[in-house]
Amino acid sequence: MSLNAVENVEDWLARVRDYLAVLAARKRSQFGRRVSLGDLLTERADNAAACGFGEGTTMYDNVLVLGDVRVGRHSWIGPGCILDGSGGGLEIGDWCSISAGVQIYTHHTVNRSISLGRLPIDYAPTKIGHGVYLGPNAIVQMGATIGDKAVIGANSLVNRDIPAGAVAYGSPARIRRLNAPSSPVPPDPTAAW
Helix (H, G, I), strand (E, B) or coil at 13: helix
CB 173 within 8 A of CB 156: yes
Q: 108 an active-site residue?
A: yes
Q: Which residues contact 1 (CB under 8 A, 6 or more apart)?
A: none
Largest Cα–Cα separation, the chain: 70
How many angstroms separate the CA atoms of 128 and 33, rounded?
A: 31
CB 95 within 8 A of CB 101: no
Of 91, 82, 147, the residue nearest 124 (C-alpha): 91
Q: Which residues contact 182 (CB under 8 A, 6 or more apart)?
A: none
Which listed residue (74, 107, 108, 130) is catalytic? 108
Catalytic residues: 108
